[in-house]
């Protein structure tokens, strides 16, 4: 098994590259996050095309060429010590065939993001590098807690997280351990069958999502089943399932940890023996606590849930 490399810890004064690998952002949407980086004692360095806009069926943060240029600069620049995505959205799949890690391999750095950034994190893990599945610089409409950001800075400074969370009615008890893979379910699904897909064997899988109809959620879970994912993993962590289903017809389920979405997932997994922890605070939710993709996890699902790196 390939040993996963954790980037070195950051110290005060280190530079953090801020880039937009997918959707476009306005200056006002990043002001608070960039100020936070400064207040924590680090130096934000903005990508050339951070605020670029290119409309082509979706509002991207620049053309593919511009976004490729920015991410390759951020990953390989010897002056920066971490790379923080401004937001997700859609567009990271455009980049992965063009990523270069020449200098990154000599000086690995943390990549921070979630949602569409799952694509980049899968790519990095295939190359042997851990990353942080956590809040982007842009705060979403549902906001983000200070602790969610503080915990990211803890990881950047070398402190790995330990979590104890409340039980959920759909949990499946058990103990397991393994390397953590996953992120946004739609992107895990989109990468299935490609050379960029996660390796699921003996791994603990994390999934979260937003704004999917219930049938689309079921279709993605079925695709994972048909691909043999659930016969390979040793455990599953389910995070936020936000604004799922048809909001007009299913308003009773319209929350961060959608009960009906959880029920659908639980029913699909009923024949498998691995432990499942629902309700983990990560995803398109206000309390978005970081997970380390590629980190070794001990997971205990009982009257309380313990997840330790």
Find all residues with CB under 8 Å of 244, minimum gap 6, and list them: 209, 210, 211, 212, 213, 214, 217, 250, 253, 254, 258, 260, 261
**Residues 266, 276 contacting (CB under 8 angstroms):** yes
Helix H or strand E encompassing 212: none
**Residues 21, 71 contacting (CB under 8 angstroms):** yes
- Other residues' Cβ atoms within 10 Å of the Cβ of residue 239: 29
Known catalytic residues are 115, 208, 284
Question: What gap in Å lies between CA 292 and CA 132, rounded to an integer?
Answer: 5
Question: What gap in Å lies between CA 301 and CA 173, rounded to an integer?
Answer: 5
As a whole number of angstroms, the longest Cα–Cα distance in the chain is 53
**Residues 66, 95 contacting (CB under 8 angstroms):** no
């Amino acid at each position: 098994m390939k040993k996963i490399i954790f980037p070195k810890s950051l110290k005060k004064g280190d530079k953090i590259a801020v880039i937009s690998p997918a959707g476009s952002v306005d200056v006002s949407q990043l002001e608070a996050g960039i100020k936070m980086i400064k207040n924590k004692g680090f130096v934000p360095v903005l990508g050339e095309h951070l605020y670029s806009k290119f409309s082509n069926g979706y509002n991207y943060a620049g053309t593919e060429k511009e976004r490729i240029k920015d991410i390759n600069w951020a990953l390989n620049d010897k002056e920066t010590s971490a790379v923080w995505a401004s937001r997700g959205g859609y567009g990271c799949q455009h980049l992965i065939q063009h990523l270069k890690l020449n200098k990154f391999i000599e000086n690995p750095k943390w990549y921070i993001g979630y949602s569409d950034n799952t694509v980049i994190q899968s790519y990095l893990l295939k190359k042997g590098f851990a990353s942080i599945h956590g809040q982007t610089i842009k705060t979403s409409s549902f906001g983000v807690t200070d602790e969610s950001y503080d915990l990211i800075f803890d990881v950047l400074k070398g402190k790995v997280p330990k979590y104890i969370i409340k039980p959920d009615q759909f949990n499946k008890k058990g103990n397991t351990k393994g390397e953590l893979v996953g992120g946004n379910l739609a992107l895990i699904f989109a990468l299935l069958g490609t050379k960029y897909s996660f390796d699921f064997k003996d791994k603990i899988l994390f999934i979260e999502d937003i704004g999917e109809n219930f049938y689309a959620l079921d279709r993605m879970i079925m695709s994972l089943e048909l691909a043999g994912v659930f016969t390979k993993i040793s455990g599953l962590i389910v995070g936020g399932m936000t604004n799922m289903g048809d909001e007009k017809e299913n308003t009773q389920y319209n929350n961060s940890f959608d009960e009906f979405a959880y029920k659908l997932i639980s029913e699909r997994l009923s024949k498998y023996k691995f432990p499942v922890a629902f309700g983990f605070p990560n995803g398109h939710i206000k309390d978005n606590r970081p997970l380390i993709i590629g980190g070794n996890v001990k997971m205990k699902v009982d009257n309380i849930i313990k997840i330790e790196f």
